Structure 1
Amino acid sequence: MASDFQRRKISGVFGAMDADGDGFLTEADFRALTARWLELRGTDAGTPDGQRLAAVMMGWWSTLDTAAGGGGRVSLDQVLQVVDALPAMPDAVTGTAEAMFEAVDENGDGVISAAEYDRLIAAWNGVGTPSGEVFALLDSDGDGGLSRDEFAGHWFEFWAGDDPAAPGSRVFGPV
Structure 2
Amino acid sequence: MSSEFQRHKISNVFHLMDTDHNGVLEESDFAALAERWASYREGTDRHLVQALMMGWWATLLAASDEDADPAEGEVSLEGTLRVVDRLGDMTSSVEGTAKAMFEIIDENGDDLISAEEYNRLIEVWNGFPIDTDTTFSLLDLNDDGYLTKEEFILLWTQFWVGDNPDEPGTWMFGRFEFPEARVG
- TM-score normalised by length of structure 1: 0.92
Give 1:39 deviation, angstroms.
3.1
Partner of 1:14: 14
Distance (Å, rounded) in 2 between the aligned partners of 1:63 and 1:112: 27
CA distance in 1, matches of 2:15, 2:46: 24
Specify every segment of 5 or more residues in structure 1 that has no aligned partner in the other structure, as ranges. none
More helix by share: 1
Structure 1 position 48, deviation (Å): 5.8
Number of the residue aligned with 2:101 = 100
For 1:101, the aligned partner's letter is F
Distance in 2, Cα, partners of 1:164 & 1:66: 29
For this pair of structures, how many residues does the alignment match? 171
Q: Secondary structure at the match of 1:146?
A: strand
State the SS of the aligned residue for 1:33. helix
| Map of 2:55 onto structure 1 | 59
Corresponding residue number in structure 2 for 1:37: 37
CA contact (8 A) 1:37 1:119 kept: no
Q: Which stretches of structure 1, 4 residues or more, deviate above 4 A after TM superposition?
A: none
Q: Distance in 1 between matches of 2:138 and 2:63?
A: 31
**Aligned twin of 1:136:** 137
> Which TM-score applies when normalising by structure 2?
0.87
Query: How far apart are the structure 2 equivalents of 1:99 and 1:38?
Result: 14
Residue type at the aligned position of 1:9: K
Which residue in the other structure is 1:91 paired with?
Answer: 92
- Give the corresponding residue for 1:170: 171
Distance 2:3 2:16 in 1: 20
Contact persistence 1:20–1:29 (CA under 8 A): yes
Structure 1 pair 33–48 and aligned structure 2 pair: CA distance change class (3 A):
closer
Cα deviation 1:10-52 (Å, max 9, x = unaligned): 11111011011111111100111122223322x4xxx662222
3-state SS, counterpart of residue 40 of structure 2: helix
How far residue 74 of structure 1 moved from its aligned partner, in angstroms, is 1.1
Which is greater in Rg? 2
Does the 8 Å CA contact 2:158/2:167 hold for their aligned counterparts? yes
Is 1:151 matched with 2:152? Answer: yes
Q: Percent identity?
A: 50
Aligned to 2:181: none
Given residue 28 of structure 2, which amino acid in structure 1 is its aligned partner? Answer: A
Q: Give, in whole Å, the separation in 2 of the partners of 1:151 and 1:48.
A: 20
